[in-house]
Each structure stands twice: as structure tokens, then as C-alpha cells.
A and B are shown apart, each in its own frame.
Chain A
Amino acid sequence: MKFNTRTILIAALSVLGLSAVLTSCDKTIEEPQRVAYSPADVDAKAGSWKTYILTAPTDVTVAAPASTSSAAYLAELNDLKTKSASLTREQQEAVVYWGAGAVYRWNEIARELAARYNVPPASNADGKYPVPDAANPLADPKFPFANPPYTARALAYLSVAQYDALVATWHYKYAFKRAAPSKTDASVRVALPVSALPTYPSEDAVVATASYTILKAMFPGEGPFLDAKLAEHRESRLWAGMNVPSDLAAGADLGSQVGAKVMARARTDGMSASNNQTVTAAMIEAAKARGLADIWVSQESPARPPMLPNYGAVSLWNFDRATLVKLRPGPAPLPGSDQFKKELAELQAIQKNQTREQARIANFWADGAGSYTPPGHWARTAADAAHEARFSEVRMARTLALVSTALQDAGVCCWETKFYYYTPRPQQFGVKTSVGLPNFPSYTSGHSTFSGAAAAVLSYVFPERTNEFMAKAQEASVSRIYGMIHFRSDCESGLVCGKNIGAYAVSRGKADGSGL
């Protein structure tokens, strides 16, 4: 046999060379950068927008500020000039980071915490699953298990606190009308765009403190992390020449007052009973009485108690319990029916021959363990859209409050439906999954319900992007079929129900006095 040595050598060197070229030594991960902007509209009238928990902005108090010609204020200004005159690299980075937006960054921090805490507890030697303990949050298992219902609720309270606090802030800003430090003294060096918005109380300090209050309650093991974020955010406003300390102190006071009021609702919303496992016996009995022979059974080994079976009883934001019952979709096809067999066959066909594109869609929307969950995915989508539209802090908070309350309503409604019908997962019929199987009944799909609700609200806030958001919701919904953990009925009914749920948040938005 004859070998062409040269050809072989060239082939070899090209494989080696190609991989060398392609294996860049630079392993820095590039993330999209969000930068500061001057809002398209400062929303000067936002002090009159309808709040969720506060009955009026005057539910919280803010002391009148010292006049900008007072000796105290001039001393603050002089201090600020020194602080903002020259910055270290770290200080500059902090200014740029927080300059992207207070609401934007605290929402991102909340999603990061959700991801860190989104892992189901491991079983112990007795084959039991220990329940996370709020009093001992860093023990194994860590508290909380930030699953989709938990994260939906945490994000809803975060956004409601930010929004209510900012509405009150806008009220007081325009009552006191203290101009920005750089407008009082042009020699103050500023590192960020300055708008016409009065600066007392500081909206950044308000958002930071209100967010801190909620997140520390939701993630009690993260005190030191949150302390550092809070301190850096406040300092960054001085480094940027944007606020004097009295702006920040008034903002911190307002933010913590609103945070406390919002947490008072959270403590009595029924969440503490959401993992009450004693309710499942009656749920199973009721589902069987309606004709379901094959009920949902945990597919984990050892069998894991279902995730938050009583979450369906948690308080709603945008409609009442009677409406929830009306929103609940009709029953899923019964196992054994022709429709059920057809939907099972669809999953079996995907298992046999899943395309790479189906896998991609399933993976993109999986948002499973270790992720910020589907509510986090949609909160990110909403925050990014509001950032791109250059929303003011208060309008961004309004957007996220509408979306996040709709997401939690979707979670409550979907969980109520899941445990009302108690239907089996495809895995109980021998189907595998390419994304991992959540531990609760199948009908309806949580992803579909969350996505339908969020897309409905986002389409109202950004009507020019309706098609895009609806297509995303549709893709998120069908992703659960491609991942083989939901029947088509679970997804289609969930998506419709989610859109109906979102409509209630939209109605609220249309009537909140914003004129938006």
C-alpha cells in the first residue's frame, strides 16, 4: 500500500492548527453590558399612581429637607465634590454597575439569589427529605428551596415594594423639589446622566433599602452579601456625584418603611402553609372521585413529597378566589382516552427521534434546578425590555410589578389546578426526559401558565413587541413537550389560562392612574 506522506502530514497539521486557532487562550466570558441612560420620560406625575400595599404615599413619612442654600446642605455639597472628584477603578466600576438602574440591578440580584437557592433537598440516610429551615438557612438543605412558586412570590414582593416605594418617592420628590447637586452647583463632577428629577429622597436609596428588606426576608442566609450590595449601591451615588448623604438617608428611611409594610402582607399570605403535605390525601380522593384512576405519583427515588401542594391557597394579587376557580381550565384527557393516547404517542415519537432543534428549545426554556426559574426568565425579559425603552425607575418598577404579580398569580392558579386534578406525568408511562422532571402533577404546565401571563402583560406594556413576546410564550410552552415532561393538553390549556391571568394585571395597569 502507498501512503502519500505529505497529504497525511498536511491533514494532521490542519486538524492541530485548526483546533489551536479555535482554542483561544482568552477565556473571559463576555456578558451583555447594561449602561446608564437618561429616562425617555421622568414620569413627573407618578406620585399619584395607584399603589399595591400603601393606600397613599402619605402612609410613609419623609422629613422636609434642608434648603439648598443652608449651611448644612452646602457642607454636604463640598463633601460630595471631594468624594466624586477622583475615583478608583473599583469605584468607577461600581458607578457603572449601579448606574444601569436601581430597579434593574436589584431585580438581577434577586434572580441570582433564586438561582443559588434553587436546588431540591437531598434525601437523608432514612430515605426522607429534610425540609429547609428558615431559622437555619445555611444548613443542608439550605433555606429556601427557591423553586418556581417560591421565586415567583419573592419577585412579586420585591417588585411591589420597589413600585410602592417609588410612587411614594415621586410624591415627595415633587413636594420638596430639591434639585440635583450638580444643578445647584455646576462644579460637582457627575459620572452619570442627570435628569430633571428632584433628588430628595434618592430613588436609588429607596429601591436599595426596600429591596434589601424583602430579599433579606426571602433569603435569610444572604445577610452579608446583601449588606455589601446595599452599602456599595449607596456609596456609588456619592462617587457618581448624583446624591448628597441627606438624599440617601431620606431614601433609606422611606424604603425601609415601605419594605416593612410589604413584608407584613407577605407574612400573612398563606405561604407558610404552602408545603402542608396533609392536604394531599383529600386532593387525591377528590381527583379519583372525578374519575381519574392513574393519579400523579412521585417518580423520584425515594419518593419525594410533592412541591408545595397547598401553594394554590396563597394570596393572589390581581383577582379574588372566586375568579381563580373560574380561571381553572377544564379537566385533562383521561388516561386511556383516544386523546390521551394520541398525546402520549407524540411524546414517544419525540423520545425516539428528538431533533437537535427540539432539544435546543427544551434546553433554552428548561429553567430547572440551579436556574432563576421561569418567573426569573420572564422578569429578566421584562427588565431588559424596560431598559431598552429607557423607562424611568418608577415606570420600570411598575412594569416589573405588573409582570411579577401576574407571574405569581399564574403560579398560584397553576398549582391550584395541578393539585385539583392531580394528573400523572408522562414518565409514569415510560417516557424519558431530556431536561429533568419536576416533582408535582402534570396538568397544567407551569411554564405555559407563567409564560402566557407574562407575555400578556408585556404585550400591553410594549405593544410593538407583542408578536415577539407571544412567540416566546408559545415556544416556552411547547418546550415542555419537546423535553417530554408534559402532554400537549398540559401546555395548551396552561398557555390559555396564563394569558387570561395576565389580562387581570393588564386591567389593573390600565386603571392605575398612569395613563399608560
Chain B
Amino acid sequence: MKRIACLILVALLSLLSAPLRAQMPHDAIYMPRKTVCIAGMYGESTWTDYWEGTLKRENLNIGRHTTRTAAIMPAIGISNRVNLILNLPYVWTSTSAGNLMGQKGFQDLSAWLKLKAFDYKGLSVNPIVGGSIPVGNYVPDFLPMSIGLQARTVTGRLLLNYTHPHTGLYVTTHGSYIWRSTIRIDRDAYQADNRVYNTDEVSVPNAYDAAVRLGVVRRAWQTEVFAERFACVNGDNIRRNDMPFPTNNMQMTQVGWYGKIQPRNIGLNARVAYVTDGLNAGQSTSYMLGLLFQLNGK
């Protein structure tokens, strides 16, 4: 934490006038070579209704479920066309009713390598590869209180973007396939797919995601609306009135807005999203606020 504070201080002291380009693993914005943007983000995601399989329900023994996340996310310009993004979240869970104990801790460290492979008159093709590894020894199967699933992941993503050179109007779309490893739980037997597995090894289903974004990006600000879809490629449903489990086929569709202002080396970003449909997932409403610091290399 001390090092982060130090970096923030350095950022505050080096208020240069270069344009800011804070970016994400799902956009076509690149940091120039030898610059770093560090985002410190805080977000909350809450739900009262969830889909138990296809059945939408509430649970009076959970009430409102809240997941809070604080994350540090540096984006690094390795070259003008190759960027590296890292993300490390700390997560807390809690409920407004019932007696399930909230969980907290560092979750999974992820890294994304983004490449502008093709760029012509505002149209770009960007292959992206990502990976994540759990950094905390949190319990993955005390759902919905667990802060993560303990799976190691590898994501392959293809992102297309067209940005109108004069107005900054853009459309971005991507599709990804997410490989997820098996995990180990504390128990030596569990039920999934309507049978008992006599082992502590659990298969977490692979997944895909896709999104489409429509927005405007200018030198000092950006605004967009988006729709995102996440779905496992297989998995089982939550049993009637039972708790979720890492083998569940989780799916969700969400819509939202994202915006950013970054007149100088310091900026702000914000995101709100709402799940419109799902399977084995909470109908969450989420928001995120971030503080951006850009550090420019010489």
C-alpha cells in the first residue's frame, strides 16, 4: 500500500499536459509507449433477486446481497500498439439479512496483453489475451458469500473498433472465450450434475463473453453505453432452494453506461450497469468509481 501511495504522490507532482488515455481490456484505447495509467477503483454490486436455475426469486435469509470491490489497475504502454493491463481486486461480501458470515480478501490477479494488429482509417483489429491467478486462499464454494471461484483462467479475445476520426464517435465489439481450471475445495465430496463426486476436485465451466459499445471519445472525455453478455458453455443449475456452487452454469446479460473525464494527468471514470436477464446469477445493479493517474515516461 505504501508503494501505491508513493506512486499517487509522484503522479500528483508530475501534472503534465499530455492527453490522457486511461484504458480497459475491452476497449481499443492504447497508452503511448513508456506511459502508465494507474486506476484506483471502488465498486459495489448488489442484488435482492436472483435466478435459481430459470426461477427468479428472492431469499429472505439473504435480503440484499452486496459485493464491494477495491482494485488497483495499472495500464502500461509497452509500445504504442502493445499495452499491458494488470488488475488486483480486494473484495468484501455481505448480506442485509440472515446469518451467513461475509467473506473478504484479495481475489485474483489478472493480466491482459492488448495488441493493435491492424489499424486503417479508424478501423482497428485488436487481439487480446488475458490470464488470472488467485492470490488469496479464500473459500470458493461458500456461495453466494465467497469472493471468487479460485479458478485460474486464460482468456482469448478479439476486439474490433471503428472510431470516426473527426467526431470521435465509436463502436466497439468483442467476443472472448474463457478457459477456467478445475479447483480444489475443502470437502472431499460434493454434488453436481445430479450425482455425487467423491473427490475435492471441482470442474468450473468454461465461458464466453461478448459486448457491444457505442460512444464518443474525445481528448479529455469519453462516454458510452454498452451491452454485455457472459455465459458458461456448460454447467448445472442451482438445485431447488439450495445454494449456488462453482459448477453452476452462470449467465447474465447486462446493460450500462461508462464515462471518463481526464483533462490532465488526473482523471475520473465511472460505470453503472444493470443485469436484465440471467441464469444462476443475481440480478445485480452495480456502480464503479475510479481515480486515474497518468505517469509519462521520458
Contacts and interface: CB of A to CB of B under 8 A. Distances in A.
Interface of A: 1-3, 5, 8-9, 12-13, 15-20, 22-25, 27, 29-32, 108, 111-112, 115-116, 119-123, 140-142, 299-302, 351, 354, 356, 359-360, 363-364, 366, 369-372, 377, 380, 427, 431-437, 484
Nearest to B82: A9
B199 A29 contact: yes
30 contacts: A1-B36, A1-B296, A5-B33, A8-B76, A12-B113, A15-B133, A16-B154, A18-B131, A19-B132, A22-B133, A23-B151, A23-B152, A23-B179, A23-B181, A108-B198, A116-B194, A142-B240, A302-B60, A351-B101, A360-B186, A366-B187, A369-B242, A370-B190, A370-B239, A370-B243, A372-B189, A432-B99, A432-B101, A434-B100, A434-B101
Interface string B26-45: 00000001101000000000
A31 B197 contact: yes
Given A2-B298, A301-B97, 5 more contacts: A12-B84, A22-B181, A364-B188, A370-B239, A436-B243
A366 B243 CA distance: 14
A431 B296 CA distance: 51
B133 A18 contact: yes
A385 to B, nearest CB: 15
B185 A301 contact: no
A382 to B, nearest CB: 14
B243 A369 contact: yes
A439 to B, nearest CB: 11
Q: Among B33, B130, B182, which residue has the most Cβ atoms of chain A within 10 A?
A: B182
B110 to A, nearest CB: 8
Contacts of A371: 187, 189-191
Contacts of A31: 197-199
A451 B134 CA distance: 34
B91 interface: no
B188 A24 contact: no
A360 to B, nearest CB: 5
Contacts of B101: 351, 354, 432-434, 484
A265 B111 CA distance: 63
B78 interface: yes
Contacts of A484: 101
Nearest to B7: A1
A121 B241 contact: yes
A111 to B, nearest CB: 6
Interface residues of B, number: 65
B2 interface: no
A15 B131 contact: yes
B111 to A, nearest CB: 4
A116 B191 contact: yes
Contacts of B298: 1-2
Contacts of A141: 240-241
B268 interface: no
Given A5-B78, A12-B113, A122-B241, A19 B296 contact: no
A516 to B, nearest CB: 27
B148 to A, nearest CB: 14
A359 B239 contact: no
Interface string B268-298: 0000000000000000000000000001111
B133 A434 contact: no
A356 B186 CA distance: 10
Nearest to A22: B152
Contacts of B36: 1, 3
Given A140-B240, A364-B188, A16 B129 contact: yes
A154 B241 CA distance: 23
Contact of A32 (B139, B195, B199, B243): B199
A27 B195 contact: no
Contacts of B80: none
A108 B153 CA distance: 34
A363 B201 contact: no
B196 interface: yes
Interface in B1-39: 10, 14, 33-34, 36
Contacts of B84: 8-9, 12
B297 A427 contact: no
A31 to B, nearest CB: 5
A398 to B, nearest CB: 23
Contacts of A363: 139, 141-142, 185-187
A300 B201 CA distance: 31
B61 interface: yes
Nearest to B205: A27
B197 A364 contact: no
B122 interface: no
Given A5-B78, A19-B131, A299-B99, A120 B60 contact: no
Interface string B41-76: 000000000000000000011000000000000001
Contacts of B203: 27, 29
Contacts of A111: 196
A465 to B, nearest CB: 17
Given A15-B131, A122-B241, A437-B99, A301 B191 contact: no
B180 interface: yes
Contacts of A32: 198-199
Nearest to A304: B61
Given A119-B239, A364-B188, A433-B100, A29 B61 contact: no
B232 interface: no
Contacts of B296: 1
A369 B244 CA distance: 11
B167 interface: no
B105 to A, nearest CB: 10
B225 interface: no
A27 B297 contact: no
A515 B198 CA distance: 33
B186 A15 contact: no
A351 B101 CA distance: 8
B130 A115 contact: no
B152 A5 contact: no
Nearest to B243: A369
